[in-house]
Structure 1
Amino acid sequence: MARQNINDLLAFLVVARERSFTRAAAQLDVSQSALSHTIRALEERLGLRLLTRTTRSVAPTEAGERLLRTVAPKLAEIDAELSALTELRDKPAGTIRITAAEHSATTILWPALSKLLPRYPDIKVEVNIDYGFTDIVAERYDAGVRLGEQVAKDMIAVRIGPDFRMVVVGTPSYFAVHPKPAKPQDLTAHRCINIRLPTYGGIYAWEFEKRGRALRVRVEGQLVFNNMALRMNAVLAGLGLAYLPEDQVQPHLADGRLVRVLTDWCPPFSGYHLYYPSRRQVAPAFAVLVDALRYRGCTTALDE
């Protein structure tokens, strides 16, 4: 329906309800002559008389009464829906889709969501575990989680976790029969538990750095996983060395079940960041989530 018809229908409804051009014109903030012209134009387009006019009163005709009964509720429903949408603009509600890797989802997203969602029952969150560098715009995600150094320059990045460190670990029983590696290149002589990540096109090469010198070592072993929990199980079973996040192995280091090696080749680097398109209009629900995730410790140049 043309926009003009909608406006004319709204004018008719006010006149029909008020039974007066004078009161209707005041309510619509138009002149009586302009309102009268609008109603006549509507009647001409429909080929029907909608109002009976006398010098003292205005009343809907049979066609006008029918239009009043059928159209008024529909326009009221539209108005109610528009009002509801306005409320959503100010009320934290709606679904937020996030893509993240397993470690960040477990250690950062879940602790925050478990506290946030009970306070905001109208917010829904979908977390998709994905090790690839997903195009969040193309895949219609609201945000993604990556390490700071991996966030594209055209994204807004909000730091949501502390500095991050990967470590190489093995069991005391493994090192009882295998010498500890003194440098990353020594890993080629060890049984290592490999990681398959789509981001890196297959088997991930373990990354090291010392005094500005970076190394990537491709290791060999009997096992390949794309899951952190299984890599942890394998290293605890003494089936080889594993390359895992420091926070995940810390309890096992503390109780002596695992031993750490190549410590000086594993410096910390920028932690997890929530990122999203810079052109994104931030909804109240998303703003609440960002605030709940925001890391309150030290920040980096990437931080919003």
Structure 2
Amino acid sequence: MSQGDERGYGGHEPGNRNDDAYSTLGGTRQTRTRLPGGDEGEGYTRRPARNSRSLIMVVGVVVLLIAAIAFANQGGGGGSDGAKEKQSDTAGAGPTAATGTKPVQGKNGTIASGFAHDEQGAQSAAANYAVALGSVDMFNKDSRHSIVQTIYTSEAASRLRGPQDSAYSADFLGKMGLDANGKAPQGSIFVSRTIPVGTKTVAYSDATATVDVWYTGLIGMSGPGSTDPVSTSWKTWTAELTWVDGDWKIASDKQKDGPAPVPGDVAASTSDEISKAVEEYGGFTYAR
């Protein structure tokens, strides 16, 4: 799922190729009703304000809230593990909420690895693998082989290596403005980035998972005289993942266009602005 594929340059075989519950502690709101006050001649008198009582009530509420927070942080004080798990399973977290499962245990080179053996881990793995496959490193043979060997199963990596090398030919790289080693001309910067917008589990079991990654991509040459300026694309990449040797690996994958939003009315930046932004803004490790 390289950026090369987005422009119709077959980087991969298109046909071969997911919580921490947020709890809120609501404070109490106290109201005081004031009866209509008449003048003294009508037999009504205004009661003097009792500042000391109000202060005691406010302090009492604050103490109760602090106690509630402390109790919540201790996990409910002595409940069983089963009760905690049930609470986590039934809590209603939003689809884009951060999760309590540690998303990444480490890195294999520059690629995140050691994902959790659950739906969240599968989604996190797919998002990070999409980033790797859309990076500029895919345009260099050695780094491409390293990426593929790291994130695919050994069988899939062996199957893809040859077709990918053919797809990233010198002719194709030349059309992108790169030399045979995937390097940009002096004074220019080649841009290829994948930015996941969201992930979705299509299917899941302990051994396999199918995850969709909706992403936007940047690709093009930024520099003087570039005939292929940096542009954006919108794709959905589907990864068939397998749990192998304590981590999620890609067994096969495919992608399709969209969903794509209506383009905004922001004017395109200059080549120098794009080059500066690419150099100054680093990427992320993604987690569900």
Q: TM-score, normalised by structure 2?
A: 0.24
Report which of the two has the higher share of helix: 1
Q: Which has the larger radius of gyration?
A: 1
